[in-house]
Structure formats: structure tokens, C-alpha cells
Structure 1
Amino acid sequence: MAFLEPLQNERKMNRKITLIPALLLSVLSFGQQNKIQELSSPEGKNKIVFQLENERPKYSVSHGATEVITPSEMGFVFKNNDSLNKNFKVTNVVRNTVDNTWEQVWGEKQKIRNNYNELVVDLQEKKGKKRKLQIQFRAYDDGVAFRYVFPKQGIKDSIFIMDELTTFDLKHDGKAWWIPAYHEQRYENLYEASPVSTLDTVHTPLTIESDSGLALSFHEANLTDFASTTLYPVSGTKLKTDLVPWSDGVKVRTVDSFTTPWRTIQIAEEPKDLITSYLILNLNEPNKIEDTSWIEPYKYIGIWWGMHIGKYTFWEGPNHGASTKNAKEHIDYAKQLGIDNLLIEGWNKGWTPEWYQNHMHMFDFTTSTDDFDLEEVTEYGAKNGVRIVGYHETGSNIDNYLKQVDSAFALYNKVGVRSVKIGHVGSMLNMKEWHHGQFGVNYFRYILKKAADYKLTVYFHEPIKDTGERRTYPNMMAREGGRGIEYNAWSEGNPPGHTAILPFTRFLAGPMDFTAGILDVENKQGYPGRRVHSTSSKQLALLVVVYSPVQMLADLPENYVGKPEFKFLKDVPVNWQDTQVLNGSIGEFVTIVRKDIDSDDWYLGSLTNEEARDLEIELDFLDAGATYEAQIYADAEGTGYKTNSTEVEISTKEVTSEDKLTLKLGESGGTAIRFKKL
């Protein structure tokens, strides 16, 4: 596992950088150090309380007068049942305030304010090994976070973390929206809603509509060289951290020291306000790529949907999707449609009809299939103003991929490919380790950094979850990490409410390559009885609701030709100056507006579950005193996901910031609007 070493070295450097500012801050007197420590957010919305209770560290969280987390456990268990959670004294307390604004290379919001108050508590065991442990707390107005730092202290042996004892003792029960943590489909499951007290072991983000009236989201930030966290109910409403293990049961392997990811709780008065919380991004390291000129958001088409509906195959044969002939035809479509990127999957040797099954598949990442010429296709694309998006399917055979990754990335550099999709189909990496254990965390970070060395942007499928690393490495464009639209092609499909759940759950982690934009929702050319459970207008709306700097217009390209509604798909940007959420209810509906970073135009996406509904919205997000042309793409009268689902009504209307609009959404329908400033 040589790929782990540079990541461990980087972690050690980051830890030193983190601790240096503490030396510059005022230190409290010893008498104060042993008192209860309180930390409030800048506007006093959220408060953290830390204390030693019987020499054990505990924390609690409140929002205004509402208790959120009652005193909860902290600490670790190492190998041989060696606990680090008791017999502590406080040796130092440091406070700090930070208020700055930073700019994303790309994103759903260009400028992000990072404003928090910080409390750093140094602990040491009073007897025995007298080990040290530092706990860092940060209080934001949109949530709270904390992490552990186990500093270098002369330990020569390897450190094996067997358990993290962190709990979240919720004061109130509530409705939790969750997917199971230890399932062979990883994150690709439909969300269930149930009381916190009845949960399975679940992935994060875990979103809870608390009985207190608050909306909560539990996640983690800056997941580096550590196991990802899952949560399970110990008893009642007490949730405990469950680190994803290695195959031998060890949770985390390290040497000398370690720094955990931030454990995060986003707190909002309404669920819709969770969507515009940037706490996760703020807790990550600043951008480490000095020259970002090669990092560009984009839209793309592909042969992907054709493979999923059975028109093409991934493997060689009479219907092979990635043939030179078919690739050139798709380049012609891309040029005709005005979309300048094309994804080609299955162009390399190693694909078989069993490629998706658990097996150590031996893909060759530099040798084209017999019916495909990579250089000829990329040259043809360049002549027609269309870039090819590369694809590597590892089949979760990580050993095989790591042996070839340099030569594979070098080949893409040679032929002008600037972005690559990397898949990891398989229940386990190397048929042995969880995608979201420490092995997987380090592997994905290694590939991300390797891609940056070759100036390649990437988006992962079957990935580790997003914890905000796109701030540090903005060549990390997007990832799957959720149940996408392809399930509609060959399974019972995603129910209408699925896309009304994702903005409040999966999308809180970061951009998703959801692959929307299917106009032929009836799937006339696909498998009998399979269809997309939405209207075509809802598919347009998803290009606004689903944030990603790389957006696939996933339908067969011929289904876009001559369709007036395609204009919205072509117009809608993938990089934004601002984002606002106008309304929303988890699993029911949501309306999001975003402002184009390159113009004064705003775009709106609104969608609903299986219930038709009318939503009245105010247009006060528009510039005061200005007039806009609202280009409206809506469900036609009588349209729903079961009837007339492809009918889109297009209209225009002049509006100002003082106006209101009523959006009429059909069953599993939607509305998409471009507000063009006149």
C-alpha cells in the first residue's frame, strides 16, 4: 500500500499547520481551565458546552433555548481494549475567532463567508501512560463541529484504533432520512424515513427533522487518512459513531499521531436552510492547486444512457457502444446540439458481459478495443469543437488500476482528454475492503492528487462520500455516491419522491453526477415496462436543483434534436454566483434559484413528488428596478408522470422583483425558468 505513504506525510504537515496558530492566542489561567467551557457562534445562535464529568470529556450542543445534544461521550479505544476516554485533566484552553471570505474556483456560490468561534482544549491522562489528547471545537451560526488531535508524544509502536466513542445524545426524537451503511450497494439505496430511535446503522449525511422543530444534518468534513463514520442508535435517541473497518476489524491504522475528520452538526430552523449551509466546505483546507486555469465546469452528452437501456453494450460485439463509428456520430450530435463534451465509456480492453459482477476484472487502460481508435476519435472531436471525456472502470480491482494509472493518465494528456470519470463497480475494493474504510479514503485521495499532477479533472462513481475536499482539490468535480437516474432504465426505478429527498440529504455532502435531462421519460427505446418516474419538465428542473459543475444531458442525443425544450438544457449554466432556496419540504417539493456567474440571469428549478401542487413564489431575489423575461418551461395542462409525461408548455412573461409567480407542478412534475435580464 505504497499509495498510503504520501497521504500520511501530508496529514502530518497539515497537523503542524493547524496547531501553530494556537500558540499565538491568549491562554486562560489554570483555574479557568477546569471550569465548564462554553463556546457560542458569532451571532449566538448555537452553543457548545465542554466539561470533564468524572474526569471524562463530554460535550453538549444547544440552538438558542433548544437543547440539541445532551452531554455526550468522547474518546477512543485502541488495540487490546486500551481506552482513551477517562482519567483526564485539562492542561490548556485556547479561544479564537475567525471571520474571512474565500472564493470558490467553481461552485454553487462564488464567495463563501467563513465565520466561527473556536475553542481548543488540551487534555492529558492524570496517571498511567499520561497520554495527551486535543479536542478542537468550532461554533458557526449554521452548525457546530469538533475533531480530535492525538499529537506526537513519543509513541514508537503503530496505533490501531478499534473504536471511536463519540456519541450524539439527541435531546429529542425525530424523523430521520437514512440509507443503510453496510450494504453492497454502498450509497445507492433509496432513502427511508423513520424515528431516530429505530434506525439501522446509517451513512452520513443523516438528516433529521427533530421533534424540537429544528432540522439537523450529521456528517463529517475533511475526511483524510481515516475511516469514514457511520452512525447507529445505542439506545433511545443516542447515536454512536461507528468507524468503517478494515477487513481484519481494525478501524484506523496510523503511526505517531492522528487527526480525525471534523464531526459536524448542521442546524437550521427549516430543512430548506440546510441546503445553503457551507459549514462542510469551510472546515476543509484551502485550495492547494496554484494554477487552476485548466479546471473548467462543463456539460456533456454520452453513449451512457444507450448502454443502460440496452441499445448498446459496454463490451465488444455487434452493438458495442464505444466504436469509432458510433463515437464520431455522437461527436456530430454534440456539435449540432452545441454541447462541447462527450463521454465515451467502454473504449478500452477488458470489458465482458460480466464486468459489473464481483471479480478482480483486468481492465487495460491504455489499449483500445479492436473497433475503436482513441487518437482518431479525439482528433475528430477536436476538429469539431468537442472534447472527449475519458472513462476508467476499475471494477474495484485497485491493484490493477494503480499499476497503470500513470500510463493511463499520460495517454489522456497525449490525446487531449482533460477530464476523466472513474468507476468502482463492486461490493468491495480489491474484493476485500469497504469503499468507505480507511483504505478507500486514502485510495480516492491518492487518485485525486495523481490526477491533479496530470492536470486532469475527475468525477468518481461508486465513490467515497464527499466531505468537502473539492475546496482543497478543485479538480474533484463531482461524484455519484447516491442512487442516480440509471436505476430507471433497468429496475423498478426511483419513486417520484426520490428527487425531493436528495436535496436535503445526499446533496448536502456536495455535487452529484445525477445524470438528469431525460426528455424521453417514457423510455420508448428501452426495456419494456421501464421508465423515468417524472415529467420531462421535472427533468429540466433537475439541472438547477441538482448542483454539479459537470452536468450530463443523459438522454440519447437524437431525443434532443428538434425539441424546443432542449434550449433550457443548453442555456442553463453549471457555475453559479449565488444560490437561494425559496421553499421545500423533505420528500415533497423544493424550489431553488441560482444566479449565473457570467451574466445577470437567474435560473429556477422546482419539483414535486407524486402529488400535483401549486407553489406561489416571490421574485424578490431579482435585482430591484430591473425587468426580466421569464422563459418558462412547465408541465402542460393534464401532465403527470403517468399521463402525457413528455408534454412541456413553453411561455414567456416580463417580470420584476415585485412580482409573484404561481408554479403549477403535475404529478412528479416540475418547472424550469430562465430569468433573462432585459
Structure 2
Amino acid sequence: MPPFTKKPVKQDIAQSPKRISSLALTLLLSIGFITSSGIVTAKTLVVNSPNKQIQLELTDDNQRPEYRVLFHGQPIINSSKLGLVFQSLGEFGAEFLIGDSHATEVNSKWQQPWGDREWVIDKHHGLSTQLSNGKYHFYVDIKVFDDGIGFRYRVPKQGVLEALNITQELTEFSIAQANKATAWWIPARGWNRYEYLYNKTPLTEIDRVHTPFTFKLENGVHMSIHEAALVDYAAMTLDQRRDGILRADLTPWSDGLKVKTHAGFSTPWRTIQIADNATGLLNSDLILNLNEPNKLGDVTWVEPGKYMGIWWGMHLNENTWGSGDKHGATTKETKRYMDFAADNGFAGVLVEGWNTGWDGSWFHNGDVFSFTETYPDFDLPEIAAYGANKGVRLIGHHETSGSVTNYRKQMNEAYDLYEKYGVTQVKTGYVADGGDIKRVDDNGIIRHEWHDGQFMVNEYLHSVTEAAKRHISINTHEPIKDTGLRRTYPNWISREGARGQEFNAWGTPPNNPSHTTTLAYTRMLAGPMDFTPGIFDLAPKGLDAVNRVQTTLTKQLALYVVLYSPIQMAADLPRNYAKHPDAFKFIQDVPTDWQQSIALAGEVGEYVVFARQERGGKSNGSDWYLGAITDDNARIIEIDLDFLEPNKRYEAQIYRDGDKANWRTKPYDYVIETQVINAKDKLTLSLASSGGTAIRFKALD
């Protein structure tokens, strides 16, 4: 085995890396032992986080690469396997031993064109290690941050290796003291993609789950396993083998293979976010930092903002996507929404159902959609001109019903049409049961794929990059999960990827009071979500109806701050906002682009409090906003206001639950009040059952 050496390695970062210190990286050599092939020396490499609280050990003690993770000196991930299995080459794991390693130290920051904070600090210690069996080799790249770790595999070009098919990934996460851990999860590989209510169970009771997968150890340490930079690879789900041992389970192609690639590839980063408490997970930038910088160049054309939509009426069955007497997407109706948007400061109006194909069983036959032909009662040129005159953009919509080959064939022409009429944002939809995405292969044979398999990973990204050529941003519904690619492709402005507001109109059961308080610590760790908050008619069919919104009205306001997205929808019908103009004022005021964001308090599934500082806007970044939401339990929370600028006074415009508020019986009981405060003050928030508080801190001096 060659001797251990340290050499600088090129990193894709804004600042040149430094040699890592001996405190951050340690090489431990065990005593040599005799095998049939001679003397073998096992190695253990140790990488510490910059604050020295997280430690990752990489070893080949068992004649294969394994890793473990310690936090505050205590194991949180026990020895866990690493490696890949190829169809033609077998396992890259057993008998692969540690070779040459290269260390780096990074301390830099980078700017987001839009986001939940303007500047992101990238501070980590890195290690790239070659693993070899004498014939083939691959690399494990490791980055250890103060908020967690990321690692990935790289298989370089070597010898005659060309096409490679991955049949299994061997990556494990062996959770320390798993029998005493609590987990929040949704099932993977199910018919409803990611759109499930979250389960809270002992960790040992999970089977196959989606990521981000969040859990809490008995000692209070919070962790979340996910992945970053998912490109040209299958999504990783987690399959529990023995209790507490989670294996990476890649979503397969229709032919059973997991990944089809070539030598010279890298996997996505496998990530573990680590924090002393629940809010520590919310304040992490780990996923973004593991993605590559912006590849699109100037993206000033990507515009955050709020929008209305011809959407909620369809879910309430007041309108239809298809043509007929109740057709929602008409010229007249779109103009009415544009008038309301212009009068109330909204940037756009989403219109669903404008294109032919919605009549009949579109859900089961996406081949019928045309993405360029309008229904006769929808005049695209007239509407585009009307919106431009009003200062309100038309937001486009493409529903594929999972027939991606039909969409791919029309995509360029469809995006060209939108570009011609000034449509700069498009919501795409892939409604189909999990595993029923329809593609036609090169031989004309129909294949059915998963939403999160490699084929669809590439299809989603293809739509984003094609849209970028026309300065169009994409908001993907029924998507692949977010893995931070908004950093690399900033026009991927938002996505769904969880159970959204529409389930409250017709889902049985609807979203429960703990749904959004769980989303904050699970789905939202991945990135922005187009949840579509802001419903004011909380029980259209009465308080006793099964299908209704299980929140108070002020919780709907607070969601604009808690569930981050650079595009936020005022989801209800215009007439319902007219009933509560004083509360609607918060939706008019709240921005969608932030200078910084701070999670102040919370527990997974129970409650969360976020404070965010406006970026630019009318206040030039002086105003702050706060959102607090709770589950079914009413609670009182005291919040320090030390996040505000010192020596400055603010008018706190408070939208809170009334004294008798309760989502079941008094959801519309709310109070709006103001008081002058500063950074030295505290506020006591009183949240009703499934209630919330929304506050604008308006700078006075």
C-alpha cells in the first residue's frame, strides 16, 4: 500500500482552500497484521468540524471502507458501510482499502440571487480519499461543517471502464441508540409520491422512508438524513434493515437497474444535518453549500413575488379545468383576477386549464394535452397584453399527467409560445401515481417510471434548463424532492413535493393541525415549497365538514413566514379576502425574499417560530416579519426580540388569535393590534389550538 500523503486538491469554491490543520485531520495507523497476501495496515482518518463538535472517522479496519460520526464526543452514527455495486464489476466496497488522501479547509461566503438569506457562509473541513482493491479505484469525498456532514462517491475514468450500471448502493446509516430515538417520516415508493401526512413513531418502526428523514435521539440531539445535488442519479430513500441500520435504497428504473452511467461520474452528496435542538436543523445551510454555484450567469430575470391563481375554485368544484359552463380559465375570469392582483399589489396570476386536453379523463391520459392550443374562451395574446398594461404577469401552467414523452415533444414550442407573450414563470405538473410516469422508449415501447428515478431526475432538470434559455422560471409540482439545486439553477424557483393546501378542499382526511409544524422540520429542510397558504374561508361547507382547513385564520397568515418560498400564493378566492380586509393587509405586506432568516423556537411537529428580515423592498431591508404556528395544542411562547437592529424602534403590527380562538369552533376569532418595541424587549405569543401569530416589525427610525 502506498504511504499516506497530503496534497492540496482543487475545490469548486469561491476562496482558495487551505491545508487542513493537524487538529482537523488525523491519521491513525493500527498495528500491522498478517494475511495470506502479506502485511496489511488498517487506517483510520478523522475529520473534525471547524468548531470541533462533529467528528467523522473513515476506516478500512474491516477490510472495507466504513465511517462513523461523533457529536460532542459521543457516537451518533455507529460504524456504517460505504460502497457501490455494479452490474458488470460487482462490489466496490469489500477489499477496497484507503490510499492517498487530500485535505482542505474552506472559510468563505457566497451570495444568493434570492433566498431565505442573502449571504451563505461555507465553512468546512474536507477530505478526498482514494479507495482501491489494486485493480479499480474510487474516491470518497467528505465535507464536515458545524451543522453536519456530506459525503459522496466519485468513480473516475480508468482503464477500459465505460458504461456502468449501478444495481445497489451500499451506503448505511447505523443510528446510535436507535431503539430510543423518535422519527418523523413519510413512506417511500408509495402511490402518492411525497403527498402523505407525517408519521411520528419510534425510529425502529420505520420501513422504507423518504428523505429528508428527521429524528431525535434520547439525549435531545436532532438529525436529518437527506442528499444534495441530485443530478443524473436515482433518488435515495432509506430502507431499515436491522433495527437502526438504514441503507440507501435507490429508486429503480422500470427494468430494475438503479443508475445508468459512465466512468467519470459522481453521486449526489449523502447528508446528515446535526443539531443540539430542533431549531438548529432549521438554521442549517448544509444542503445549499453542497451544491455547485450558479451555472446560468445573470439571473436578474428571476423574480420572487406573490401571486393569485385561478386554482382554488377548481378544488372547491366551483370551476372546472375542462371546458364548459364552469370553465375557470376564461379571458373574462383571468382579467378579473388580474384586476384584483393589480389593486392589491400581487405580481402575477396563475391560470390552470387554459390549454386543450382537460376534458374527459385527463388524469389517466396525459397524451391528450396540447401545450400550445388554447380553449376558444381563452385569448392568450389579449390576456398577456392586458396583464402587461396592469403590471401583472400571466403565470403559465403545464400539466403533463405523467406523460413526459408527450411533454418533451412539445416543450420547446410551448416555452417559445410563453416567451413570445412575456410569461416568465411556469408551474409544471406531473400528476400520476408513483411508478406510473409514462415514457416511450427509443423502440416505441411504453415504460412506466417513478417520479424520483434517474429518468425523471433528468426530465425535471431538462425542463428547468430549457426554460432558462427563454428566461422562464419553473415551479414544479409532483416533483422530485428538492436537493438544493436552486443554487446551481436559480430559475428552479420553487416546487411542491409534499401534501399541500389542496388536500384541505377534498382530501380525506385533510391536513391535520400538526402537518405544517412537521413540514418545517422535514420537507422544508430540503428547500422552498409552494404550499399555497392564505385560505380565509376555512370551512366552506361548515365547521362540522370533514374537508376543511384545520387552522385558525392567523395561522394561515403565519404560514407565509414559516413555510419559505420565493413565490407565495394568495390561494383563496378574491371574495373571501374582501370579508377580512384587515387581516388581508398582512398578505399584501409580507415579502417573499429575505436578507436573513432565523428560527427562534420550536419542537418537531409541535410548534415553530421564525423571524425573517426583508431583503430590499419598500423598507430597504429595515422591516422584519415573524411567524409562529402550533399544532392542536394551544401554547404560550415568550420570544426575545434581540434579532432586531439595536437602538432602533419598531412598530409591531400583530395579527394574533383571539382569546376564544380554536380551529374547530372559533377559527375566525383574531385580534390585530400594534405596539412600539425595540431589540431589548420580549413578546409573549398566545397561540390557540392550531393557531398562529403573524407580526410585521415596521422600522420607525
Give the structure 1 partner of residue 503 of structure 2: 487
CA positional deviation for 1:88 = 2.0
Q: Which amino acid aligns with 2:609?
A: T
Give the structure 1 partner of residue 306 of structure 2: 299
Q: Which amino acid aligns with 1:164?
A: E
Give the structure 1 partner of residue 408 of structure 2: 402
* Aligned residues of 2:221 and 2:276 also touching (Cα < 8 A): yes
CA positional deviation for 1:268 = 0.2
Give the structure 1 partner of residue 669 of structure 2: 647
* Aligned residues of 2:510 and 2:546 also touching (Cα < 8 A): no
CA distance in 2, matches of 1:30, 1:49: 10
CA positional deviation for 1:80 = 5.6
* Aligned residues of 1:500 and 1:607 also touching (Cα < 8 A): yes
Give the structure 1 partner of residue 369 of structure 2: 363
* Aligned residues of 2:20 and 2:105 also touching (Cα < 8 A): no
* Aligned residues of 1:109 and 1:577 also touching (Cα < 8 A): yes
Give the structure 1 partner of residue 469 of structure 2: 453
CA positional deviation for 1:622 = 1.1
Q: 1:528 to 1:197 in 2, by over 3 A?
A: closer
Q: Please, what TM-score do these two structures have when normalized by structure 1?
A: 0.94
Aligned pair partner of 1:535 in 552, 555, 568: 552
Give the structure 2 partner of residue 5 of structure 1: none
- 2:630 pairs with 1:594: no
Deviations for 1:174-219, whole angstroms, at most 9, x for unmatched residues?
1111001011110000100112211110000000011232000000
Give the structure 2 partner of residue 52 of structure 1: 60
Aligned pair partner of 1:322 in 317, 329, 333: 329
More displaced stretch, 562-571 vs 159-168 = 562-571
Give the structure 1 partner of residue 32 of structure 2: none
- 2:275 pairs with 1:268: yes
* Aligned residues of 1:523 and 1:532 also touching (Cα < 8 A): no
CA distance in 2, matches of 1:193, 1:525: 30
Give the structure 2 partner of residue 200 of structure 1: 207
SS in structure 2 opposite 1:565? helix
* Aligned residues of 1:76 and 1:163 also touching (Cα < 8 A): yes
Give the structure 1 partner of residue 481 of structure 2: 465
Q: Which amino acid aligns with 1:516?
A: P
* Aligned residues of 1:378 and 1:416 also touching (Cα < 8 A): yes
Map 1:371-386 onto structure 2 (within 5 A). Answer: 371-386=377-392
Q: 1:586 to 1:264 in 2, by over 3 A?
A: same
Map 1:556-571 onto structure 2 (within 5 A). Answer: 556-561=573-578, 563-571=581-589
CA distance in 2, matches of 1:344, 1:18: 40
* Aligned residues of 1:30 and 1:91 also touching (Cα < 8 A): no
* Aligned residues of 1:196 and 1:233 also touching (Cα < 8 A): no
Q: Which amino acid aligns with 2:173?
A: F
* Aligned residues of 2:228 and 2:291 also touching (Cα < 8 A): yes
Give the structure 2 partner of residue 520 of structure 1: 537
CA distance in 2, matches of 1:70, 1:336: 58
SS in structure 2 opposite 1:504? coil
Give the structure 2 partner of residue 388 of structure 1: 394
Q: 1:307 to 1:29 in 2, by over 3 A?
A: closer
Give the structure 2 partner of residue 575 of structure 1: 593
Unaligned 5+ residue runs, structure 2?
1-8, 30-40, 439-446
CA distance in 1, matches of 2:20, 2:606: 49
State percent identity of aligned pairs: 44
CA distance in 1, matches of 2:97, 2:663: 62
Map 1:651-670 onto structure 2 (within 5 A). Answer: 651-670=673-692
Deviations for 1:591-612, whole angstroms, at most 9, x for unmatched residues?
1110011221110000111111
Q: Which amino acid aligns with 1:446?
A: H
CA distance in 2, matches of 1:426, 1:80: 33
* Aligned residues of 2:11 and 2:17 also touching (Cα < 8 A): no
- 2:71 pairs with 1:71: no
Q: Which amino acid aligns with 2:551?
A: S
Aligned pair partner of 1:151 in 145, 156, 160: 156
Q: Which amino acid aligns with 1:140?
A: F
CA distance in 2, matches of 1:134, 1:238: 23
* Aligned residues of 2:252 and 2:258 also touching (Cα < 8 A): yes
SS in structure 2 opposite 1:560? helix
Unaligned 5+ residue runs, structure 1?
1-14
CA positional deviation for 1:333 = 1.4
Q: 1:150 to 1:323 in 2, by over 3 A?
A: same
Map 1:331-370 onto structure 2 (within 5 A). Answer: 331-357=338-364, 359-370=365-376
Q: Which amino acid aligns with 2:283?
A: T
More displaced stretch, 534-543 vs 442-451 = 442-451
CA positional deviation for 1:429 = 1.7
CA distance in 2, matches of 1:26, 1:508: 29
CA positional deviation for 1:433 = 0.4
Q: 1:618 to 1:31 in 2, by over 3 A?
A: closer
Q: Please, what TM-score do these two structures have when normalized by structure 2?
A: 0.91
* Aligned residues of 2:18 and 2:104 also touching (Cα < 8 A): no
* Aligned residues of 1:520 and 1:646 also touching (Cα < 8 A): no
* Aligned residues of 2:88 and 2:164 also touching (Cα < 8 A): no
Deviations for 1:327-384, whole angstroms, at most 9, x for unmatched residues?
1111111122221210000100111242233x34321001101211111111111111
* Aligned residues of 1:207 and 1:218 also touching (Cα < 8 A): yes
Q: Which amino acid aligns with 1:345?
A: E
CA distance in 1, matches of 2:176, 2:634: 36
Deviations for 1:74-130, whole angstroms, at most 9, x for unmatched residues?
11111168111122233311111011000101010110100000111111113xxx1
SS in structure 1 opposite 2:500? coil
Map 1:68-467 onto structure 2 (within 5 A). Answer: 68-79=76-87, 82-126=90-134, 130-173=135-178, 174-357=181-364, 359-427=365-433, 428-430=436-438, 432-467=448-483
CA distance in 1, matches of 2:383, 2:545: 33
CA distance in 2, matches of 1:297, 1:183: 33
Deviations for 1:119-156, whole angstroms, at most 9, x for unmatched residues?
11111113xxx111110111100001110001001234
SS in structure 1 opposite 2:605? coil
Q: 1:642 to 1:83 in 2, by over 3 A?
A: same
CA distance in 2, matches of 1:444, 1:291: 22
- 2:635 pairs with 1:613: yes
SS in structure 1 opposite 2:448? coil
